[in-house]
Amino acid sequence: MSDFEFIFALYGLLLGLSLTEVLGGLGRVIEARLKPGSTMRVGWLTPLMAAFLLLDLLSFWAAAWAVRDIAFVSGHSLLAVTAFAGAYYLAAALTFPREIAPDDHLDEHFFRMRRIVIGAMLALLLCQAGWYLSVPELAGRILRPLPLAMTVVLVLLMAAAMLVRHPIWARLVMIALVARYLLLYLI
């Protein structure tokens, strides 16, 4: 087993649990919405945040492949992987409410949790970018014009998602965040 395989087993497990947490939350929402007598409104914002989180998780999963040749097992690397992927799990666990009342509106949940969920994701992005810049083999990847521009767009949209107050603007920003990833995955 290589060092990368050893470290990635932990990273993959924690990111996989994060994916499971988001999908489980979606399942809870669907179940609550379909209960007889439920007046719960799903809205757009929480599902868009969940879609953005899933796409972002996939990007970090793929980014692990970029470091496969420089990964090595150490106490520092294991702590870093656990903290990093653990922060994703926390964000995933907060994306959907644990308990859903029959009259809940999930857009309200979005406005309560967005700064924590998206803020954690933004912190992880900045940590990853800082680490990439500190490793000469990776710095060139992030400093090319297209990756740099797409990262700046991502940071600005994430900051906007945490700050906008009007639901329409929040929807537009969240749609833009999801669309940015879909464009990257499809081109």
Residue ranges per structural domain of the chain? 3-186
Sequence-distant (6+) residues with CB within 8 A of 159 are: 122
In terms of phi and psi (left: phi > 0; alpha: psi -120 to 50; beta: otherwise), the region of 164 is: beta
Amino acid in the structure at residue 70 = I
Tell me the H-state helices in the chain: 3-34, 45-66, 75-95, 106-134, 136-143, 145-163, 167-186
Percent residues over pLDDT 90 in the chain: 65
Q: For 107-113, what is the mean pLDDT? A: 96
Q: For 149-153, what is the mean pLDDT? A: 93
Q: For 143-160, what is the mean pLDDT? A: 93
pTM for the predicted model, two decimal places: 0.92
Residue of 45, 54, 52, 48 lying closest to 24 (CA atoms): 54
**pLDDT tens, position by position, 119-136:** 999 999 999 999 889 888
- What was the pLDDT predicted at 72? 81
